[in-house]
């Protein structure tokens, strides 16, 4: 039985492992899982920054599989970090208690990697500052696959605060390495363009990408509009820049009138939380996929916990799925994706 070790960054994944994550997540989504699979196992949720979806979906995932959860949701205030304890010391102490996995959200880029070096227990990166959010990117890819039946030959627009958004950074790393046949459109205010490290990675894998400051040219061609918020917490030292970026982002809001320019079969995604970058009037349109996307986080995180704690056999879940020919339909019923042969 193979085990997935720590989950730190998107680039660590190979194609076989991603297929296995998706195949196991499919079984979780279909309700075909052992509710005692992680009985007696303990997950630590150690969150130094606020979270709704990541923490609660990981905790729900663990409980659904029969495991238990301990942790703190505001470690900067409620753990001994408030007394000056370094992350490395905290991780060494917690891992000494013998949990099976530590899910860590940290406020600085590189936090998950630092924790990994101090821990014999697997670390799952639940977001490290402006670094990466690999489990979010996996659920994003799972959602695109669910909605289109493929992650190939699509126009994918990433919109918003691209320099500070860790979800879009992880997503680009995955897209470049494993799905280079898509076209990526980077749409952001001039002040928050995608950083050079990600663009160099897109270049390395010959991904076709463009950059823009407005949506007009992108809306009619995009299959996926992946919207993000201005990451307010990253501008604490520069409120003037924050106000400038908020103003520049006004023209990137998805409104009912923007919807009219989009393809009928396109989808709108958002890692959430949303501030005002998607008008609430858009929510009832079947193309609004962000709440389906958030729900997929539960299934993908159930899969990841199972793969980290109990392990998996390459290909076994995929083979079972092909046999049962599971099919899924999106809630609106206007798009049906056969999931059994799609990776
Ligand atoms: N998408 C995401 O990471 O949401 P939370 O900050 O609520 O966990």
Q: Where are the domains of the chain?
A: 10-132+296-320, 134-293
Give the mean model confidence (pLDDT) for residues 122-140: 98
**166-178 vs 134-148: helix crossing angle, rounded to 10:** 60
Q: What is the pLDDT of residue 320?
A: 58
From the CA of 47, how far away is ligand 1's center (Å)? 11
Q: Answer yes or no: 183 catalytic.
A: no
Q: At a CB cut-off of 8 Å and minimum separation 6, what does 203 contact?
A: none
From the list 12, 93, 5, the residue with the least C-alpha distance to 46 is: 93
Give me the residue label for tokens 């009138």.
257
CATH topology of domain 134-293: Rossmann fold (3.40.50)
Q: Which residue in 54, 135, 143, 192 is the catalytic one?
A: 54
Considering the chain, what percentage of its residues have pLDDT values greater than 90? Answer: 90
Ligand 1 pocket by Cβ (under 6 Å): 51-54, 127, 133, 136, 271-273
Binding residues for L-aspartate: 83, 166, 229
Residue 158's pLDDT band, with cuts at 50, 70 and 90, is: very high
Is residue 49 within 8 Å of residue 18, measured between CB atoms? no
What pTM does this model have? 0.92
Render pLDDT for 41-78 as a digit per residue (tens, 0 to 9): 999 999 999 999 999 999 999 999 999 999 998 999 98
Q: Is 19 exposed, middle or buried (0-12, 13-18, 19+ CB in 10 A)?
A: middle
d(CA 339, CA 343): 8
Q: Find out whether the peptide bond into 273 is cis, omega within 30 degrees of 0.
A: yes
Ligand 1, pocket-test mutation among 47, 124, 136, most atoms within 8 A of CB: 136
The CATH class given to the 10-132+296-320 domain equals alpha beta
Q: Answer yes or no: 133 catalytic.
A: yes
Taking the CA of residue 55 as reference, the ligand 1 atom at the shortest distance is: 8
Q: Do domains 10-132+296-320 and 134-293 have the same CATH topology?
A: yes
Indicate the helix (H) or strand (E) that contains 167.
helix 166-178
- Examine the pLDDT at 342 and tell me if it is beyond 90: no
Q: What is the CA radius of gyration of the chain?
A: 20
Q: Find out whether the peptide bond into 8 is cis, omega within 30 degrees of 0.
A: no
Strand residue runs (E) in 1-67: 42-47
From the CA of 51, how far away is ligand 1's center (Å)? 5
Q: Answer yes or no: 114 catalytic.
A: no
Q: Nearest residue CA, atom 4 of ligand 1? A: 53
Is residue 10 within 8 Å of residue 174, measured between CB atoms? yes
Q: Is 192 exposed, middle or buried (0-12, 13-18, 19+ CB in 10 A)?
A: buried
Q: Which residue in 53, 177, 199, 270 is the catalytic one?
A: 53
From the CA of 324, how far away is ligand 1's center (Å)? 33
CA atoms 77, 83, 88, 92: torsion sign:
negative
Q: Answer yes or no: 39 catalytic.
A: no
Q: Helix (H) and strand (E) counts for the chain? A: 12, 11
d(CA 33, CA 281): 36
- Examine the pLDDT at 101 and tell me if it is beyond 90: yes
Q: Nearest residue CA, atom 1 of ligand 1? A: 271
Give me the residue label for tokens 């049962």.
324
Binding residues for carbamoyl phosphate: 53-54, 105, 133, 136, 272-273
The residue ranking higher by pLDDT, 44 or 330, is 44
* 3-class DSSP assignment, residue 261: helix
Question: Strand pairing partners for 58?
Answer: none
């Amino acid at each position: 039985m193979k085990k997935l070790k720590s989950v730190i960054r998107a680039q660590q994944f190979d194609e076989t492992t991603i297929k296995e994550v998706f195949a196991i997540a499919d079984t979780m989504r279909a309700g075909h899982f052992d509710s005692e699979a992680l009985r007696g196992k303990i997950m630590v949720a150690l969150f130094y920054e606020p979270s709704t979806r990541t923490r609660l979906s990981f905790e729900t995932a663990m409980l659904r599989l029969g495991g238990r959860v301990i942790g703190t949701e505001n470690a900067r205030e409620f753990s001994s970090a408030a007394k000056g304890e370094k992350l490395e010391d905290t991780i060494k102490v917690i891992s000494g208690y013998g949990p099976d996995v530590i899910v860590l959200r940290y406020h600085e880029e590189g936090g998950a990697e630092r924790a990994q070096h101090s821990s014999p227990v697997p670390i799952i990166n639940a977001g490290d500052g402006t670094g990466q959010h690999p489990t979010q990117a996996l659920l994003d890819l799972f959602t695109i696959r669910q909605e289109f039946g493929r992650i190939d030959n699509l126009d994918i627009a990433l919109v918003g605060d691209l320099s500070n958004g860790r979800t879009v950074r992880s997503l680009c790393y995955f897209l470049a390495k494993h799905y280079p046949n898509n076209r990526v459109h980077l749409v952001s205010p001039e002040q928050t363009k995608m950083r050079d490290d990600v663009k160099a990675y897109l270049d390395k894998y010959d991904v076709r990408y463009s950059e823009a400051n407005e949506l007009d040219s992108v809306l009619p061609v995009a299959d996926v509009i992946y919207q993000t918020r201005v990451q307010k917490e990253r501008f604490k030292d520069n409120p003037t820049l924050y106000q400038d970026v908020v103003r520049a982002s006004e023209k990137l809001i998805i409104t009912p009138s923007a919807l009219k320019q989009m393809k009928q079969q396109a989808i709108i995604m958002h890692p959430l939380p949303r501030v005002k970058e998607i008008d609430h009037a858009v929510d009832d349109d079947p193309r609004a996929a962000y709440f389906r996307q958030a729900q997929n986080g539960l299934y993908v995180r159930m899969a990841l916990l199972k793969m980290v704690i109990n392990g998996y056999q390459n290909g076994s879940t995929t083979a079972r799925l092909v046999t049962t020919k599971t099919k899924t339909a999106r809630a609106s019923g206007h798009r049906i994706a056969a999931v059994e042969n799609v990776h």
